[in-house]
Structure 1
Amino acid sequence: MQLNGKRVLVTGGTSGIGLALAHELIGKGARVFVSGRRQAMLDAALRELKSASGIAADVATPDGRARMLQGAMQALGGLDILVNNAGGVRAGRLEKTAEAEIEAMIAVDLLAPILLTRAALPMLRAGGDAAVVNVASGIALIGAPFYATYTAAKAGLARFGEALRRELKGEGIHVLTAYPGATETPMMASNRAGPDLGFSREPAAAVAGAIVAGIEADAFEVIRGGETRARMIALNRDDPAAVDARFLGLKAALEEAVENHSAL
């Protein structure tokens, strides 16, 4: 896909991977509209981006989703690319995770992208050369302890994207799924796990660059983590008990490092 002139809505576009994606897309000549829940963060992001527009709205609410699409239509005159990037996480043992936190993860990480995509499809169809980009997580490919609900939501988003890609095949709308690994973002600020526990972090700009390259190439997926991640995915497929054993050796330290990881 040629990005110059494309009209793009990036949810969760006021920080982290979303903000980095907005920068990358603008650099490719795209016209960008970002959304985020907090007005102050939106204002700061728009000052930084300079040429973008946006709205403060909650993607987890019907009103927020409607206002995002209305705002994008007013600012851009249509929509060619929807980037479902907004997300939330609460790590920890399942039985210690509040029901409200579980519901919030499902609402933001899975239900909201499905419903926003559904509502955006008429706008995307009108362009004739459109795309939906779902930002899942590397954890959707390899389930990790203490991230059970987050893993479920992101894995659901990934399979949603795969099914939708096949549903829309030949209709002018491509679907790409991105699987970032640990990334230097505000969402990761309360996670104290490091490379020794499998959380080797990379800059948000690197992740965004790879996703944009994937959009340009009409890729099906973008998986971060290089050969290390590829080997782990293969091992998880061929010998999941070995992955279980590896996590067992890390479990106590990992639980302590992520028990306060929360960004909802």
Structure 2
Amino acid sequence: MDLSNRNGVITGAGQGIGQALAVEFGSRGGHLLLVGRTEETLNETATKVEAAGGTADVLVQDLSRLEAIDAVLEAVERWDSLDLLVNNAGNVRAGRLEESSAADVQAMIDLNLTAPVQLTRALLPTVRASADDSGSLVLNISSEIALVAMPFYAVYAATKSGLAAFGEALRRELHGTGVHVATAYPGATDTAMMTSQNADWARRPVSAVVADILAGLAQDHHEISATAPEAHDTHRRNATDPLEVDAAIVGGLDDLEAAVRDHRSI
């Protein structure tokens, strides 16, 4: 897949993986709409994109609100084409399910799952129409937790697994249309989203995660692992013998709960 000169929307573009992907697409001549909740960080990303050789517009919106979808549509309605959509925005609140507030549960569902589904639905006619010889790209940023669901992340795991299944179904629905649907699965990554989490999980640099994603896209992969290589064996075991993985995890439940109970980006 040729990733150059893309006209696209990137959500959650103010920091972390979203920001790094924006800079990479900018370095390839992309024109981007950067969507997020914080104007200051979006402007920082726009500056980085332009320094890398691309162009960028900024749209401050909370995508958990349905009216934000209309704002994105309005922002790109005069574009000649839209051949890139990166659904990256997300949030997390860890802890025991019965101790979670209804508001936190809904916030994760709204941003991690409902928003990318609704945004893709709204933009898809233009994305399809823009699929020339280079094709269009819809990239969903899921999580390693969709491969191995961890305790105290039940709702987050549900939303990220839902996003992965959404991508799989949409990929088959759009077969032959020129729209490439890909799902990336980052593991623990060294981003601001992880600063309140104290579990003993090695955090990969954002640059390594994004390099894996871009390499997968360049090879036309649809399912892209952006996790540490040493985790791949656990992914395979979870698919074939999940109870074995259960046994490896439950012995440290108390310590894990203590380490993640304050993990919150909402």
Residue 219 of structure 1 corresponds to which residue in structure 2? 221
Query: Structure 2: which 5+ runs fail to align?
Result: none
The sequence identity of aligned pairs, in percent, is 42
Query: Offset of 1:153 from its aligned partner?
Result: 0.5
Query: Offset of 1:70 from its aligned partner?
Result: 2.2
CA contact (8 A) 2:210 2:226 kept: no
CA contact (8 A) 2:181 2:222 kept: yes
SS in 1 for 2:238: helix
RMSD between superposed Cα atoms in Å: 1.3
Cα separation, partners in 2 of 1:212 and 1:73, compared to 1, 3 Å: farther
Cα separation, partners in 2 of 1:89 and 1:68, compared to 1, 3 Å: same
CA contact (8 A) 1:79 1:123 kept: yes
TM-score when scaled to structure 2?
0.93
Residues 186-205 of structure 1 aligned to structure 2 (within 5 Å): 186-194=192-200, 199-205=201-207
Query: Offset of 1:2 from its aligned partner?
Result: 1.1
Residue 34 of structure 2 corresponds to which residue in structure 1? 34
Greater alpha carbon shift after TM alignment, 176-185 vs 215-224: 215-224
Distance in structure 2 (CA, Å) of the matches to 1:127 and 1:133? 15
Off by >3 Å, runs of 4+ in structure 1: none
SS in 1 for 2:148: coil
Residue 99 of structure 1 corresponds to which residue in structure 2? 102
Residue identity in the other structure for 1:145: P
SS in 2 for 1:9: strand
Distance in structure 1 (CA, Å) of the matches to 2:226 and 2:220? 17
CA contact (8 A) 1:54 1:71 kept: no
Q: Deviations over 1:186-219 (max 9, x none)?
A: 111111112xxxx211111221222122222221
CA contact (8 A) 1:3 1:29 kept: no
TM-score when scaled to structure 1?
0.94
Q: Deviations over 1:161-206 (max 9, x none)?
A: 0000000000111100000000011111111112xxxx21111122
Distance in structure 2 (CA, Å) of the matches to 1:209 and 1:71? 29
How many pairs align? 259
User: 1:253 aligned to 2:255?
Assistant: yes
More helix per residue: 1
CA contact (8 A) 1:178 1:223 kept: yes
Residue identity in the other structure for 1:61: R
Q: Deviations over 1:214-246 (max 9, x none)?
A: 222221111122432210011112221111111
Residue 113 of structure 1 corresponds to which residue in structure 2? 116
